[in-house]
Chains A and B, each alone.
Chain A
Amino acid sequence: DTEVTQTPKHLVMGMTNKKSLKCEQHMGHRAMYWYKQKAKKPPELMFVYSYEKLSINESVPSRFSPECPNSSLLNLHLHALQPEDSALYLCASSSTSGALGDEQFFGPGTRLTVL
């Protein structure tokens, strides 16, 4: 099984809402990632978890809060977002402990719209 699943597929939220994005993988991977992708741009790395610990935070605003409850799950908690945060949010995983050279498998993404 080389699948990374993400829920929800689409999310519309207001600037005062609190919501969460969820990601799950059952490949036994120990590194998981959150990326943000704007239209016609490559994915931008936000966070990396290695063995359930946050290892990289690419200076992401605090209105984005990641959480890794266990080795298979990754959440991204959203609060007080801005319209410019509207994007496709991608989760990925790889087998090694945050060694970013290893192949990453992506989920289908959550398309977020902030009104």
Chain B
Amino acid sequence: QKEVEQDPGPLSVPEGAIVSLNCTYSNSAFQYFMWYRQYSRKGPELLMYTYSSGNKEDGRFTAQVDKSSKYISLFIRDSQPSDSATYLCAMSAGGGNQFYFGTGTSLTVIP
């Protein structure tokens, strides 16, 4: 079983839609959760960083962590064509432990 599971998509939505991206994980020691956006042929860009459970909002983006279900989500409101990219979740137990990426979900927002 992989440490982190993420649906690779591809996901295609109309402009203005709410997008939900999800990852599940198996290691209950994970405490640090990140979402990265990666445009084609570019490096990953950090979008959201969350410690432990709860919600975090930044503009149109909301990150949710449910440690009891080992499930994290990224919501994108009012999606824009410029949101078209691959979204990678990443997580770690911290303290010098391994940093695990999901496989990435490819998102296309259609104008």
* CB under 8 Å from chain A, chain B span 70-103: 88, 90, 92-99, 101-103
* CB under 8 Å from chain B, chain A span 38-52: 40-43, 45
Residues on B with C-beta less than 8 A from A111 are: 41
* CB under 8 Å from chain B, chain A span 88-103: 88, 90, 98-103
**Chain A contact residues: helix, strand, loop or mixed:** loop
- Count of interface residues, chain B, beta-carbon cutoff 8 Å: 27
Residues on B with C-beta less than 8 A from A42 are: 88, 101-104
Per the bound structure, the CA–CA distance linking A111 and B40 in Å amounts to 12
A108 touches B94 (CB 8 A): no
Per the bound structure, the CA–CA distance linking A50 and B36 in Å amounts to 23
Q: Which of B8, B31, B36, B92 contacts A106 (CB 8 A)?
A: B36
Is A105 an interface residue, CB under 8 A from the partner? yes
- Count of interface residues, chain A, beta-carbon cutoff 8 Å: 22
A99 touches B94 (CB 8 A): yes
Closest to B43 in A: A106
- The interface of chain A, by Cβ under 8 A from chain B, is 4, 6, 40-43, 45, 88, 90, 98-109, 111
User: What are 12 contact pairs spanning A and B, CB under 8 A?
Assistant: A42-B88, A42-B101, A88-B43, A100-B92, A100-B94, A100-B98, A101-B31, A101-B99, A102-B32, A102-B94, A106-B45, A106-B46
Extra pairs beyond A41-B103, A101-B92, A104-B46 (20, CB < 8 Å)? A40-B104, A40-B106, A41-B104, A42-B88, A42-B101, A42-B102, A43-B44, A45-B98, A45-B99, A88-B41, A99-B94, A99-B95, A99-B96, A101-B32, A106-B36, A106-B45, A108-B43, A109-B41, A109-B43, A111-B41
